[in-house]
Structure 1
Amino acid sequence: MPVLLIIDMQVGMTWPPSGVRNNPQAEDNIARLLDRWRHAGAPVVHVRHISRTPGSPFWPGQPGAEFQPALTPRDEEHVVEKNVPDAFTHSGLERWLHARGHRALVIAGVSTNNSVEATARSAGNLGFQTHVVADACFAFGKTDLRGVDHPAEEVHQMALANLQGEYATIIDTEAAAALLAR
């Protein structure tokens, strides 16, 4: 049974300084997946970014570092804290997954081109069967090194394209839920 890995769904991600984003339905899709995983008794891991930068909304103890209320972990669900985009780096996540025999991951969360992409790359490189749920992730607009602004949807799609095939399989919410039936 695949592990649902929910990345950085924290209060600070809902604040305007985060920027213009795509996939306004992502939280609803994540909540649907979380409900299905819980109903099936399948494993769920919540990842929380804890910043090392003073003043960051994700600094320890700040309201922005808390999980969004609708996506708050239950006591029996594993929580991983990270300080860099990749949820595997210095977190014990790989060890936790291996110790429980988990080999498949379904990844949702934010942001597609940062923590989701970094985590999915590591998962693929570590040999996990990795799925990224495109409509349960979102990105923010970004300016490239030439000074060209790219809208959030374009950033999101490029990050997914970077992952498809080599590191992960890109799916939607319904396909992710169907993985539980296998």
Structure 2
Amino acid sequence: MSQAESAVYARQGFGAAMPPKAPYGLLIVDFVNGFADPAQFGGGNIPAAIERTRELLATARARGWPVAHSRIVYQDDDADHNVFSLKVPTMLGLKEDLAASQIVDVLAPVAGELVVRKTVPSAFFATGLTPWLAQRGVQTLLVAGAVTSGCVRASVVDAMSWGFRPLVVTDCVGDRALAPHEANLFDMGQKYAILLDRDQALAATAG
């Protein structure tokens, strides 16, 4: 993004400050084995983002935040085949009991954490995530996961649409290619979300 292009956004009033507001929650989008594997859906900076998310998750648990995870899971008989899987047919390989659809071991959920199963990009669409977060009083939702330009972005837009303040933890989200990762971070920061790296996010939400 050039200075001239960035200036257009500023002149039109995008990118206003939106400070984090307690209570906080954490959503980890699709950090499953298939997205950690460059031979399947991974690559780019996804492995580094998974590693950075380990401390983010540990801190969220220590602080008692609600934590939710999402997975893409299709029925074994593909009866829920949809437009998303029409565009990306290999998504149909993500089944309930297959290794590719399991959350990576280092971020495995513990008791009391919500696991959302979905067949579309957003973790909010047609799932119970919104009422689950609302019941726990969440105002600001920290978001980690994969991929930045796809399921992360879709979940951030829906979080904002439901009235949560999305806080995208920039080094805890990843994409298979860096250009869409960077472009989508910029766009989310201009329109929908707070952008902070992990250490900044944890400092801003402390106390």
TM-score (norm 1): 0.87
Q: 2:178 maps to which residue?
A: 153
Moved more, 114-123 or 45-54: 45-54
Q: Tell me the distance in 2 between the aligned counterparts of 1:175 and 1:75.
A: 28
1:14 is matched by which residue type in structure 2? A
What SS is found at the alignment partner of 1:45? strand
Structure 2 residue runs without a partner (length 5+): 1-22, 75-79, 82-88
Structure 1 residue runs without a partner (length 5+): 141-151
Instruction: Assess if the C-alpha contact under 8 Å between 2:35 and 2:42 holds in 1.
Output: no
1:115 aligns with one of 132, 147, 151:
151
Q: 1:77 maps to which residue?
A: 113
1:22 is matched by which residue type in structure 2? N
Whose strand fraction is larger, Structure 1's or Structure 2's? 1
C-alpha distance 175-73 of structure 1, shift in aligned 2 (>3 A): same
What SS is found at the alignment partner of 2:138? coil
Instruction: Assess if the C-alpha contact under 8 Å between 1:23 and 1:135 holds in 2.
Output: no
1:93 aligns with one of 124, 129, 133:
129
CA drift of 1:71 comes to 0.5
Q: Tell me the distance in 2 between the aligned counterparts of 1:17 and 1:11.
A: 9
1:7 aligns with one of 29, 33, 56:
29
CA drift of 1:168 comes to 0.5
C-alpha distance 39-159 of structure 1, shift in aligned 2 (>3 A): same
1:169 aligns with one of 183, 190, 194:
194
Q: Name the count of aligned residue pairs.
A: 171
Q: 2:84 maps to which residue?
A: none
Identity level (%): 32
Whose helix fraction is larger, Structure 1's or Structure 2's? 2
**CA RMSD for the aligned pairs?**
1.7
TM-score (norm 2): 0.77
